[in-house]
């Protein structure tokens, strides 16, 4: 297997998404198109970021859809006391770092006729956003439903964008569920596991082919959803795709 490419990328901008998460826009320093599949990730090499002065390597899923441009987007959570995110959140526009990638097999084929249920929590949304925006850009008529879980309403990433997607004529829909909702919240409540079966059944009922499920987030959530799909629906492994992090 060929090694993933290595290239230099410069920071174009960094904008807050929530109190702890920021949107990073990078562009390849060589101006070449950023070629990848929706759902893949890159490693950022942060020279001198470790306490001993050595380099740190951190993996982040690409949040933007594939396009013939040198830019790519990431959504990164600031970790209190974390040297990696301290380095990234101190980067100024124009500064460069080394990038390795793209990598990964957590991808959704654009040509598939099967509907998809995309389940994510926190920054596990990023590869799922890439999949949704890629489907939108290609005018896909295949239904795809996102179930995104966070703690509080203020934690919802890319909210306006996802709501607009749901209000369009496309077959793409987004649902949010809050595990710590206040009294003002009128949407779904609880963990994503609470709503997975309902949304899967809705997709399945309108399709001649069984829906695929794509899950991304912390390990406990991913494992719980996979087990639920196995025990309650008996879904075969080839219909369930996941990527998890600790």
Instruction: Examine the pLDDT at 206 and tell me if it is beyond 90.
Output: no
Burial (CB < 10 A; 0-12, 13-18, 19+), residue 92, is exposed
Please name which of 94, 127, 81 lies closest in space to residue 245, comparing C-alpha atoms: 127
Instruction: Examine the pLDDT at 2 and tell me if it is beyond 90.
Output: no
Residue 237's pLDDT is what? Answer: 94
Instruction: Examine the pLDDT at 181 and tell me if it is beyond 70.
Output: yes
Tell me what the pLDDT averaged over the chain comes to: 95
Instruction: Examine the pLDDT at 60 and tell me if it is beyond 90.
Output: yes
Reading the block at residue 142, the tokens are 């295949």
Residue 26's pLDDT is what? Answer: 99
Reading the block at residue 82, the tokens are 């974390």
pLDDT tens-digit map of 100-124: 999 999 999 887 889 999 999 999 9
Domains of the chain in start order, with CATH, are 6-103 (2.40.30.10), 116-245 (3.40.50.80)
């Amino acid at each position: 297997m060929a090694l993933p490419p290595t290239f230099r990328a410069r920071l174009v901008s960094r904008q807050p998404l929530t109190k702890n998460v920021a949107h990073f826009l990078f562009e390849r320093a060589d101006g070449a198109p950023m070629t990848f599949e929706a759902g893949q990730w890159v490693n950022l090499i942060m020279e001198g970021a470790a306490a001993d002065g050595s380099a740190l390597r951190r993996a982040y899923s690409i949040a933007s859809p594939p396009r013939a441009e040198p830019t790519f987007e990431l959504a990164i959570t600031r970790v209190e006391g974390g040297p990696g995110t301290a380095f990234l959140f101190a980067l100024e526009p124009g500064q460069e770092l080394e990038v390795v990638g793209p990598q990964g097999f957590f991808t959704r084929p654009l040509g598939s006729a099967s509907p998809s249920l995309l389940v994510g929590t926190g920054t596990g949304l990023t590869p799922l956003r890439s999949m949704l925006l890629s489907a939108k850009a290609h005018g896909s008529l295949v239904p795809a439903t996102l179930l995104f879980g966070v703690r509080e309403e203020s934690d919802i990433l890319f909210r306006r964008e996802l709501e607009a997607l749901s209000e369009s004529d496309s077959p793409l829909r987004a649902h949010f569920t809050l595990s710590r909702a206040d009294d003002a919240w009128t949407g779904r409540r609880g963990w994503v596991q609470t709503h997975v079966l309902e949304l899967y059944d809705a997709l399945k009922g309108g399709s001649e082919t069984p829906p695929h499920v794509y899950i991304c987030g912390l390990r406990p959530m991913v494992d719980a959803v996979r087990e639920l799909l196995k025990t309650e629906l008996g879904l075969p492994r080839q219909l369930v795709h996941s990527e998890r992090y600790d």
